Structure 1
Amino acid sequence: MTDTFLVIGAGYAGSVMARELAEAGHRVLVIERRPHIAGNAYDEPDAHGVLVHRYGPHIFHTNGERIFEYLSRFTQWRPYEHRVRSVVDGVRYPFPINRDTLNQLYGLELDEASAADFFERVREPREPVSTSEDVVLNSVGRDLYEKFFLNYTRKQWGLEPSQLKAGVAARIPVRTNTDDRYFTDNFQAMPKHGYTKMFEAMLDHPNISVELGVDFTEVRNRIKARHIVYTGPIDAYFDYRYGHLPYRSLSFEHEHLTDTERFQETGTVNYPNDHAYTRITEFKHLTGQQHTGTSIVREYPQAQGEPYYPVPRAENEALFKRYQALAEQESGVTFVGRLAQYRYYNMDQVVGAALAAAKRLIGTGS
């Protein structure tokens, strides 16, 4: 085992690292706590034969041609541009907010220039823009903030927008045109046969071994490896020496609707002001699958459970920096991924971080 690289986690970060190390001629053992590969991107047919994402919708999009080409080695693609509606007072509006949203909501007939003038009139200038509340008020003003953002944020994060860093809201654009796509990246597509199949191909290499249902905390003192690639929560690696890093979790309510070909008009519908869940996703929009029924998932944010989203607040970043300092002193270990780097990464960003980390690691000959 001493010549083997040990990778903790079979999600994006771990699988990309494993593949790169294997192609560089190294033997790699991947251990994964869950009974499956692909991390939170894991998908599988449900009991009715509909391909579903077990941990909520994963929509691939990137402006990175290099990253798209890299993943294209392991999958064919199905073009897909994600669209979202947001329900306000029982009516579904295009989201992110665009000109059609304004015209429909306020009974207006704005063109692009007058939509820009509208935003300029209603916005509440903030200086400096340091919180998510600042971002939204500075962009679209009080009414749109309260209708579309305020309560959604409260549900999603369990915090006020004024308690979250600006970057959370900055991820959501506001448009003066009628583009109702959720993302505008150059590359938008779904793996043709699903994410799990893509990960299977990525990990299919003679130098890679995978063991599922193995918890690193239970074997870390028994396994000797040349180098460890760790993609789990960084605070867990150090046995929570400085306390737990805050994460936001989710619970998922999957449901199959028999003899219902379409449940909603877009892949996802947000419910900012109603219900305990934040959104409903219908998977057949994402996959293009044909089926007489349809499968949906409702997402319920919660404080406890699997760590999904690092909570972006200044005090949490300060705590992470303390753990990062420990990580930098830890010889023979590479920390990479959303949990190990405490970053709100998109999928393509995790792939990019893993490719960069693998290049550094291979270059050092560790």
Structure 2
Amino acid sequence: MFDYLIVGAGLSGAVMAERLASQEGKKVLLVDKRSHIGGNTFDHYNDDGLLVHKYGPHIFHTNSKSVFNYLSRFTKWRPYQHRVLASVDGLLVPIPINLNTINELYGLQLNSDEVEGFLAGKAIKKDRILTSEDVVLNTVGKDLYEKFFKGYTKKQWDLDPSELDASVTARIPTRTNRDDRYFADTFQAMPLNGYTRMFEKMLDHPNIKVMLNTDYKEIIDSIEFREMIYTGPIDYYFDNCFGKLPYRSIDFVFETHNEDSFQSTGTVNYPNDQLYTRITEFKYLTGQKSDKTTVVYEYPKAEGDPYYPVPRSENTALYKRYQQLAIKEKNVHFTGRLATYKYYNMDQVVAQSLALFKKLYSPDLIEEEANG
């Protein structure tokens, strides 16, 4: 008899498994249909001895000290601040857009105050911000929207930005200084020995059993358990009874080159040229030394593993129908990107599972925190 069956060995499931086993002494069975733990953050050494992320680059960043401290129990860190360039008009310029981006693109020598006025002059002010297009036009105007956002968004989502929720482009700031870091969070680092090693330490507990290459529906009738933590697609849990929730997927194409470096920064975006959206070179992320280097090209597609929930109002409405069913489920708890149909950063996923654990076993503590 297990106390908990946890479906999915990504961050959501692993955090819950670790907390339940180590803090409450619960017996946990962690099941995943893939052949490995770690979910989409899984990394491994390829045939050339280079550490790569199987499902595209995952860069850890957070403003939450509690999340960072929690994960620090299972890994040491390598400080790393991610930088991204965009291939625009034959130039490689910083993204998010900053002072250097504007000066290089337009051949100007503006300062921070002047670039603020420059952008204000370009902006097309909107009374209501409803779509991703509205967000960008309202901030930087049509020219920069077309150079950086329209084509990239169309490739990534197969939708025009005018058809997508404002949240998509609202994630990307516009800066009037020279800060060329992709993220501005307080804590920015990579697990020193990789994500998979971090997961191995997280799940190294006698109360945690892991079963891979297994769809939980194949074993659920033969396993005895008291409660379930479900981190898989919520529509799959309910047998797609209202129809499938739309996702975007990606084809990852890896190449290894016999050279020290392939490009001048960790990631280069291609908003308007090429079929791929970006190229990432892993040695920037890992700090690994080698006379070879591996890069990954990302080609968005409609079918495949579910990576990105498609943020449109009709999809949110469909999710809410499934959510109402989930609320009525007894002894089943839904957490994570797929189970809540929302695009979370890694730290948000960890925080969500830590909050669920508190809700289950320290509800008084949550109430005290809420009341200050």
The TM tier, using the shorter chain, reads over 0.9
Q: For residue 348 of structure 2, what is the aligned residue in structure 1?
A: 349
Cα distance in 2 for partners of 1:127, 1:338 equals 31
1:21–1:362 contact (8 Å) kept in structure 2:
no
Cα distance in 2 for partners of 1:89, 1:131 equals 26
Report the more deviating stretch, 210-219 or 267-276: 210-219
SS at match of 1:214: coil
Q: Which amino acid aligns with 1:292?
A: D
Q: For residue 361 of structure 2, what is the aligned residue in structure 1?
A: 362
| Residues 122-141 of structure 1 mapped to structure 2, 5 A cutoff | 122-141=122-141
Q: For residue 188 of structure 1, what is the aligned residue in structure 2?
A: 188
Q: For residue 291 of structure 2, what is the aligned residue in structure 1?
A: 292
Q: Which TM-score applies when normalising by structure 2?
A: 0.96
| Residues 55-66 of structure 1 mapped to structure 2, 5 A cutoff | 55-66=55-66
Q: Which amino acid aligns with 2:41?
A: A
How far off is 1:206 after superposition? 1.2
Q: For residue 175 of structure 1, what is the aligned residue in structure 2?
A: 175
- Alignment of 1:223 with 2:259, yes or no, is no
How far off is 1:91 after superposition? 1.3
Q: Which amino acid aligns with 1:39?
A: G
| Structure 1 consecutive aligned stretches of length 4 or more whose deviation exceeds 4 Å | none
Cα distance in 2 for partners of 1:158, 1:219 equals 37
How far off is 1:89 after superposition? 2.5
| Residues 47-62 of structure 1 mapped to structure 2, 5 A cutoff | 47-62=47-62
Q: Which amino acid aligns with 2:222?
A: R
SS at match of 1:340: helix
Cα distance in 2 for partners of 1:134, 1:343 equals 21
Cα distance in 2 for partners of 1:317, 1:218 equals 29
Q: Which amino acid aligns with 1:339?
A: L
Q: For residue 67 of structure 2, what is the aligned residue in structure 1?
A: 67
Cα distance in 2 for partners of 1:129, 1:49 equals 47
Cα distance in 2 for partners of 1:110, 1:141 equals 18
Structure 2: state its 5+ residue gaps: 364-372
How far off is 1:363 after superposition? 4.2
Q: For residue 79 of structure 2, what is the aligned residue in structure 1?
A: 79
SS at match of 2:338: coil
Cα distance in 2 for partners of 1:160, 1:337 equals 27
Q: For residue 39 of structure 1, what is the aligned residue in structure 2?
A: 39
Structure 1: state its 5+ residue gaps: none
| Residues 1-366 of structure 1 mapped to structure 2, 5 A cutoff | 1=1, 3-23=2-22, 24-258=24-258, 260-363=259-362
How far off is 1:217 after superposition? 2.3
**1:248-297 deviation line (CA, Å, top 9, x unaligned):** 10110011102x10111110000011111000000000000000000000
How far off is 1:362 after superposition? 2.7
How far off is 1:177 after superposition? 0.2
Q: Which TM-score applies when normalising by structure 1?
A: 0.98
Q: For residue 367 of structure 2, what is the aligned residue in structure 1?
A: none
Q: State how many pairs are aligned.
A: 362
**1:134-183 deviation line (CA, Å, top 9, x unaligned):** 00000000000000000000000110101111111000000000000000
Cα distance in 2 for partners of 1:220, 1:231 equals 15
Cα distance in 2 for partners of 1:14, 1:256 equals 32
Cα distance in 2 for partners of 1:224, 1:362 equals 22
How far off is 1:90 after superposition? 2.3
Q: Which amino acid aligns with 1:153?
A: T
Cα distance in 1 for partners of 2:135, 2:190 equals 31
**1:304-362 deviation line (CA, Å, top 9, x unaligned):** 00000111111100000000000000001000000001011000000000001111223
Cα distance in 2 for partners of 1:361, 1:225 equals 16
How far off is 1:216 after superposition? 1.2
Cα distance in 2 for partners of 1:77, 1:127 equals 44
Q: For residue 370 of structure 2, what is the aligned residue in structure 1?
A: none
Q: For residue 366 of structure 2, what is the aligned residue in structure 1?
A: none
Q: Which amino acid aligns with 1:57?
A: P
Alpha-carbon RMSD across the aligned residues, in angstroms, is 0.8
**1:93-150 deviation line (CA, Å, top 9, x unaligned):** 1111001000000000000000000010000001100100000000000000000000
Cα distance in 2 for partners of 1:178, 1:344 equals 28
Cα distance in 2 for partners of 1:152, 1:100 equals 21
Cα distance in 1 for partners of 2:222, 2:358 equals 28
Cα distance in 2 for partners of 1:256, 1:219 equals 40
